[in-house]
Amino acid sequence: DADVTQTPRNRITKTGKRIMLECSQTKGHDRMYWYRQDPGLGLRLIYYSFDVKDINKGEISDGYSVSRQAQAKFSLSLESAIPNQTALYFCATSDPKDYHNEQFFGPGTRLTVL
Amino acid sequence: DQQVKQNSPSLSVQEGRISILNCDYTNSMFDYFLWYKKYPAEGPTFLISISSIKDKNEDGRFTVFLNKSAKHLSLHIVPSQPGDSAVYFCAASARYGGSQGNLIFGKGTKLSVKP
């Protein structure tokens, strides 16, 4: 079984709809992250959480919110989706005891906003 | 302003030859560098890393070189194989300096290895 799972894997929605992307991990890591990938732009950090009570904005947090429901679960919400949020979204985890913060990624969610 | 730059969006190499992927950075606080590999429809996976106290790290066919004075690192794949065809991301982190050790990624280089 995969260590980091994301649901759904694909989603098509309409402008203005509320969308939630979910991430679960079995690695026991405290740190979790949400990234988006756009063609030619690499991976950009949206939000990150270092434990259940900790939420931090990343490089591109506008239009997104997150919830860390438990150590193993970190969800990303788009309150009112817009077309330029069409992208690949990745969840990742890391172990704070890992000195160099190697991150482990989920398989991604492809989101299309029409 | 991009702190980690991969200036070649794509690279095509013949099977068996060497692939060299380049990465430049601007933040002198970066002290650890990683390369990730990404296949279509999958998440990025860790490939190899290097600490700023070293100038070379080797793992099988993969070697990463770091030139701190030039703020440049490169990933060498020898010999290249068709299964190496993927997008390669360079990433950097800094233990100090306010970024909390988060990874900063380049835009990626798409490697195609032709049989």
- Minimal C-alpha gap between B16 and chain A (Å): 28
pLDDT at B52: 93
Q: With 90 as the cut, is the pLDDT of residue B100 above it?
A: no
* Chain B residues closer than 8 Å to A101 by CB: 32, 93, 101-103
pLDDT in tens, B3-61: 999 999 999 999 999 999 999 999 999 999 999 999 998 999 999 999 999 999 999 99
What beta strand segments (E) does chain B contain?
4-5, 10-14, 19-25, 32-38, 45-51, 56-59, 62-67, 72-77, 86-93, 104-105, 109-114
User: Cβ(A33)–Cβ(A92) under 8 Å?
Assistant: yes
User: Can you give the pLDDT at residue B98?
Assistant: 62
Edge-to-edge strand order for the sheet containing B72-77?
B4-5, B19-25, B72-77, B62-67, B56-59
Range B77-96 average pLDDT? 94
- Among A12-21, A98-107, B8-17, B77-86, the minimum mean pLDDT is found in A98-107
CA gap A58, B8 in Å, rounded: 26
Across the range A88-97, mean pLDDT stands at 93
List, for residues A24-64, the tens digit of each pLDDT value.
999 999 999 999 999 888 899 999 999 998 999 999 999 99
Is B107 in contact with A44 (Cβ distance < 8 A)? no
What residues are paired with A36 via a beta bridge?
A: A44, A89
Question: For residues A95 and B46, what is the distance between their CA atoms, to the nearest angstrom?
Answer: 14
Size of interface A-B (CB pairs under 8 A): 53
Nearest by CB to B106, which of A42, A50, A56? A42
Contacts of A106 in chain B (CB under 8 A): 43
Average pLDDT rounded to a whole number, residues A68-81:
96
Tell me, what's the pLDDT at B96?
73
CB contact under 8 A, B103 and A101: yes
**What pLDDT is attached to residue A39?**
83
Take residue A55 and report the two structure tokens written for it: 């939420």
pLDDT score of B97: 63
pLDDT band at A1 (very low <50, low <70, confident <90, very high): low
Q: Which among A31, A95, A100 is the top mutation candidate for probing chain B, defined by the most B β-carbons within 10 Å of its own β-carbon?
A: A100
Angstroms from A39 CA to nearest CA on chain B: 9
How close, in Å, is residue A101 to chain B by CA atoms? 7
CA-wise closest residue to B76 among B92, B97, B56, B46: B56
pLDDT (0 to 100) of residue B95: 78
Question: What's the pLDDT at B99?
Answer: 64
